[in-house]
Structure 1
Amino acid sequence: MTYLILGLILWVAAHLFKRVAPDLRARMGNAGKGLAAVGILAGLVLMIYGYRQAEVFNVWFPPAWTVHLNNLMMLAAVFVYGMSATKGRLRGAMRHPQLTAVKIWAVAHLLVNGDLASLVLFGGLLAWAVLEVVVINLSEEWDRPQPGEAKKDVILVVITVVMFLVITLIHNWLGVWPFPG
Structure 2
Amino acid sequence: MALLILGLLLWSGAHLFKRLAPAQRDAMGDAGKGAVALGVIAGLILMILGYRWAEFVPVWTPPAFMVHLNNLIMLIAVFVFGMSATKGRLRGRMRHPQLTAVKIWAVAHLLVNGDLASILLFGGLLAWAVVEVILINKTSSWDRPQPGEAKRDVVLVIVTLVMFAVITGVHAWLGVWPFPG
The one-letter amino acid of 2:80's match is: V
- Displaced runs of 4+ in structure 1, greater than 2 A? none
SS in 1 for 2:40: helix
The one-letter amino acid of 1:111's match is: L
Long gaps (5+) in structure 2: none
The aligned residue for residue 106 of structure 2 is 106
The aligned residue for residue 148 of structure 2 is 148
Q: Distance in 2 between matches of 1:87 and 1:124?
A: 31
- Stretch moving more, 50-59 or 24-33: 24-33
Provide the identity percentage.
74
The one-letter amino acid of 2:85's match is: A
Cα distance, 1:21 vs structure 2: 1.2
Cα distance, 1:32 vs structure 2: 0.5
Q: Deviations over 1:57-89 (max 9, x none)?
A: 100000000000000000000000000000000
Q: Distance in 2 between matches of 1:69 and 1:150?
A: 28
Q: Deviations over 1:31-71 (max 9, x none)?
A: 10000000000000000000001000100000000000000
Total equivalences in the alignment: 181
Cα distance, 1:26 vs structure 2: 1.3
Q: Distance in 2 between matches of 1:131 and 1:120?
A: 16
Q: Deviations over 1:90-143 (max 9, x none)?
A: 000010000000000000000000000000000000000000000000000011
Q: Distance in 1 between matches of 2:168 and 2:5?
A: 26
Q: Distance in 2 between matches of 1:143 and 1:70?
A: 33
The aligned residue for residue 78 of structure 1 is 78
The aligned residue for residue 91 of structure 1 is 91
- Stretch moving more, 107-116 or 14-23: 14-23
Cα distance, 1:25 vs structure 2: 1.0
Alignment root-mean-square deviation, CA: 0.4
The one-letter amino acid of 2:60's match is: W
The aligned residue for residue 20 of structure 2 is 20
The one-letter amino acid of 1:36's match is: V
The one-letter amino acid of 2:47's match is: M
TM-score scaled by length of structure 1: 0.99
